[in-house]
């Protein structure tokens, strides 16, 4: 239990706080989508996915890696996951990697091709980023509910 406490807070509580921040980012992503800022939407969706995946580590009493794409490290603790989540893990890894790559392009554009983000990303990509973020957020919520029931 000692390693599950950081500065007087349990990792699980920190995970819930992180997920709440992720949900705010998802709301921002939706707002950016609605205002046709598709690169901004992609950035916020990726940040939502990143925080949500990092929050999963705390549910299982682990500290998260300090980088944008934590999907590989998440796969290393997969023996702790319920079957339904384990079966989603491959898609979650793809989502995380895709959005981490898109985030860089959504922030800076393609410097080699000298294309700004607005010329790379449109409505279709932004909608896809939202779908990925929403699915991962929903999976986190189910995981959290189930794990609280197992405590």
pLDDT digits (tens, 9 = 90+) for 63-84: 888 888 898 999 888 888 999 9
The whole-number average pLDDT for the span 105-119 is 97
Q: Which residues contact 59 (CB under 8 A, 6 or more apart)?
A: 11, 12, 15, 143, 144, 147
- CA–CA distance, 118 with 108 (Å, rounded to integer): 10
- CA–CA distance, 7 with 56 (Å, rounded to integer): 19
- CA–CA distance, 81 with 128 (Å, rounded to integer): 26
Question: Could you tell me if 16 and 9 are in contact, meaning their C-beta atoms sit under 8 angstroms apart?
Answer: no
Structurally, at CATH architecture level, domain 2-150 sits in: Up-down Bundle (1.20)
Confidence at 47, pLDDT banded by 50, 70, 90:
very high
Q: Which residues contact 3 (CB under 8 A, 6 or more apart)?
A: 61
- CA–CA distance, 40 with 103 (Å, rounded to integer): 9
Q: Is 110 helix (H, G, I), strand (E, B) or coil?
A: strand
Phi first, then psi: give them for residue 6, nearest 5 degrees. Answer: -125, 120
Highest mean pLDDT out of 9-23, 63-77, 80-94, 125-139: 125-139
Please state, in angstroms and as integers, the Cα–Cα distance from residue 79 to each residue in 83, 118, 138, 146, following that order.
9, 41, 20, 16
* Residue 10 C-alpha from the chain's centroid: 20
pLDDT of residue 40: 98
pLDDT of residue 4: 42
Residue reference for tokens 């702790």:
80
């Amino acid at each position: 239990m000692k390693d599950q406490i950081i500065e007087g807070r349990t990792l699980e509580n920190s995970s819930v706080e992180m997920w709440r921040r992720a949900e705010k980012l998802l709301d921002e992503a939706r707002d950016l989508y609605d205002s046709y800022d598709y690169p901004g939407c992609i950035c916020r969706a990726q940040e939502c996915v990143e925080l949500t995946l990092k929050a999963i580590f705390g549910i299982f009493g682990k500290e998260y890696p300090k980088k944008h794409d934590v999907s590989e490290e998440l796969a290393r603790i997969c023996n702790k996951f319920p079957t339904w989540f384990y079966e989603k893990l491959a898609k979650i890894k793809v989502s995380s990697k895709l959005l981490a790559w898109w985030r860089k392009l959504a922030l800076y554009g393609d410097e080699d091709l000298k294309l700004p983000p607005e010329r790379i990303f449109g409505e279709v990509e932004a909608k896809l980023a939202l779908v990925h973020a929403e699915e991962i957020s929903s999976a986190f919520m189910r995981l959290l509910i189930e794990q609280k029931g197992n405590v």
